[in-house]
Structure 1
Amino acid sequence: MEYIDSSVFIGAFLPRDPNHKVCRNLIDAIIRDKLPTAISIFGLAEIGGFFTRNIGEKLGLKHVTTLQRMKNLQIYYAEDFETFMDSVLAVSVSTGLPGSDAIHFVSAISLPDVNEIITLDGHFKKVKDQIRVTILRDSKSQ
């Protein structure tokens, strides 16, 4: 199963994003083929907050609600928040991964079926020895 970083969903939903096409193609394939994927509740908060800040609350809510209704999208909630955040802290300090990315990474590795993170964020290269990392780039934006 693939863990989809919030940056990919934002890129897919935002036509002006330089990686829009490659992100949109991936999300369309996930929806069309009902591919099992995962994201954390933190990722949904990032998506909703981004669209509310940049476009408006209605669109932020629309995108989050659409994702919550996807049957093939597993939303990860940390069961023991303190232990989860201790892991996030350890990952950030040991790898240099930014805190928000460490939340995504720990969420991904906490789900036994997840074997890959798909993202637009190059910081995830710092954990490629622990999980497969695919960094999407539209050929026009390279």
Structure 2
Amino acid sequence: MRYIDSSVFIGAFLPTDPNHKVCRSVVNTIIYDRHPTAISVFGLAEIGGFITRNISEKVGLKHVTTLQRMENLQIYYAEDFETFMNSVLAVSVSTGLPASDAIHFVSAISLPEVNEIITLDHHFTKVKDQIKVTILSEGIR
């Protein structure tokens, strides 16, 4: 199963994003091909907040609600917040991964089914020895 970083959904939802086409292609496989996919509730919050700030609250809510209703999208909620955040802290300090990316990484590795992170963020190369990392760009298909 793939864990999709919020940057990919944001890129797919914003036609002005420089990586829109490649992100849209990934999101289309989730929507239309129904590929099993994971995201964290933190990722949903990032998506909703970004779209609300840049477009409108109505559009942000629409996109988040659509994602929440997708049967093939597993949303990860940390069961023990303190343990989860201690893991995020440890990952961030030991790898230099920014805290928000460490949240995505710990969410991904907390789900046994997840074997890959798909992202636009090059910071994830810092954890490529622990999970497969695919970094999207318009030049790569």
TM range (shorter): over 0.9
Percentage of matched positions with identical amino acids = 82
Measured in 2, the distance between the counterparts of 1:30 and 1:96 equals: 30
Q: How far apart are 1:31 and its partner, in Å?
A: 1.2
Unmatched tracts of structure 1, length 5 or more: none
Unmatched tracts of structure 2, length 5 or more: none
1:2 matched to 2:8: no
Identify the residue that residue 126 of structure 1 maps to in structure 2: 126
- Deviating 4+ runs (over 2 angstroms): none
- Structural mapping, 1:35-74, within 5 Å: 35-74=35-74
RMSD: 0.8
Cα offsets for 1:14-68 (capped at 9, x unmatched): 0000000000011111111110000000000000000111111001000000100
Measured in 2, the distance between the counterparts of 1:28 and 1:92 equals: 31
Q: How far apart are 1:95 and its partner, in Å?
A: 0.1
Measured in 1, the distance between the counterparts of 2:127 and 2:92 equals: 10
The TM-score with structure 1 as length reference comes to 0.97
Identify the residue that residue 102 of structure 1 maps to in structure 2: 102
Measured in 1, the distance between the counterparts of 2:24 and 2:54 equals: 19
1:14 matched to 2:19: no
Q: Which amino acid counterpart does residue 37 of structure 2 have in structure 1?
A: T
Identify the residue that residue 76 of structure 1 maps to in structure 2: 76
Measured in 2, the distance between the counterparts of 1:80 and 1:17 equals: 35
The TM-score with structure 2 as length reference comes to 0.98
- Aligned length, in residue pairs: 140
SS in 1 for 2:137: coil
